[in-house]
Amino acid sequence: MRIVFFGTPDFALESLRACVESGHEVVAVVTQPDRERDRRKVTYSPVKQLALELGLKVLQYEKVSREGVEELGALKADLFVTCAFGQILSQKILDIPPLGTINVHGSLLPKYRGSAPIQWAIINGDEITGITIMRTALKVDSGDILIQESTPIGKEETAGELFDRLAVMGGELLKKALALISSGKAVYTPQEEEKAVHCRMLGKSDGLLDFSLGAKQLDCLIRGLTPWPSAFTKLEGKTLKILKAAPCGRKGVPGCVTVESGGVYVGCGSGSLQLLEVQLEGGKKMDISAFMLGHKFNGVKLG
């Protein structure tokens, strides 16, 4: 098959590799335009960097649905594959390839349509998540499902760690999907709309910890926001990021720090959080024992 791949961030790299390793012809890679960062230094997307390393043709559009119809049509591709591309494709684009357009998504659809599905699965305390490969549709993440695979979420797993695992899973599952499509054995199943769950984008403000909540709930939030945007609180007017913690049943006053038995604990609405790794505004991330060497923490109220 002749494939055009659409993707931008790290999460899409394994899916691009899967297209190449499956023996199909990747006739072009479409990714977001280069951005200027750090004193006008131009930064390529991770997908563009890999595509260039693999010797693949790279196309970039500010608005692919407006600018790319003619050029993409001229490629005579059989299939389009999207993965975290970052732009919504118009029906004109979706209809170009005769075999359609498929997408690699980081959740078990119809749960967690939209942005940040990996983070929200952890934040909400889910025990299982996975990868879905489905038809790309105008309505975000609503297309018919081709294939899914689930995986348990580790009790201490962060969003960053799960992100890396699901990226690899996505690539492997995409290989299976491509085999089904190329052999004419692909069967698509409509999603159950009544079970659809939508998730919104996350921002820095989502990381503010409310210690009136339970320790287990806060632990899920911390892990779900690691490495970005990070969970945080305030210590004497400065932002203190909580990078790693562990929930426990110890009782305490919400937001109050207690140092005992070699541990540092923050009281929560139910239980406590044992702090393990933190980063104070303007400083480096430290394990809690190193942080304690330069800061008086016992009895302090966070928030």
Predicted confidence (pLDDT) per residue in 128-153, tens digit: 999 999 999 999 999 999 999 999 99
In whole angstroms, give the CA distance from residue 191 to residue 113: 11
Residue 176, amino acid: K
pLDDT of residue 294: 87
Q: Is the pLDDT of residue 155 over 80?
A: yes
Query: Is the pLDDT score of 156 beyond 90?
Result: yes
When pLDDT is averaged across residues 263-271 and rounded to a whole number, the result is 97
Domain 204-292 belongs to what architecture?
Answer: Roll (3.10)
Helices 159-182 and 13-21 pack at an angle, to 10 degrees, of 30
pLDDT of 262 > 90? The answer is: no
Q: How many other C-beta atoms are found inside a 10 Å radius of the C-beta of residue 139?
A: 10
Q: Which pLDDT score, from 0 to 100, does residue 295 have?
A: 86
Confidence of residue 37 (pLDDT cuts 50, 70, 90): confident
d(CA 153, CA 111) in angstroms, rounded, equals: 15
Output helix, strand, coil percentages for the chain, rounded to the nearest 5: 30, 30, 40
The percentage of residues in the chain with a pLDDT greater than 70, rounded to a whole number, is 99
Query: What are the CA-CA distances from residue 132 to residues 124, 146, 189, 193, 219 (Å)?
Result: 19, 8, 12, 15, 27
Strands 79-83 and 2-7 turn out to be parallel
Predicted local confidence at residue 8, as pLDDT: 98
Indicate the pTM of the whole model.
Answer: 0.94
Confidence bin at 99 (pLDDT 50/70/90): very high
Assess whether pLDDT exceeds 90 at residue 36.
no
**Terminal CA-to-CA distance of the chain, rounded, Å?**
56
**pLDDT tens-digit profile of 185-228?**
999 999 999 999 999 999 999 999 999 999 999 999 999 999 99
Confidence grade of residue 261 (pLDDT, cut at 50, 70, 90) = confident
Domain 2-199 has CATH 3.10.20.30: no
Strands (E), the chain: 2-7, 25-31, 35-37, 41-43, 58-60, 79-83, 101-105, 113-114, 128-135, 145-152, 198-199, 231-235, 238-248, 257-260, 263-267, 272-280, 285-287
| Per-residue confidence (pLDDT) for residue 191, from 0 to 100 | 99
**Burial of 288 per CB tally in 10 Å (0-12, 13-18, 19+):** buried
> Domain coordinates of the chain in residue numbers?
2-199, 204-292
Query: Amino acid identity, residue 80?
Result: F
Buried residues in 43-52 as b, exposed as e (16+ CB within 10 A): ebbbbbebbe
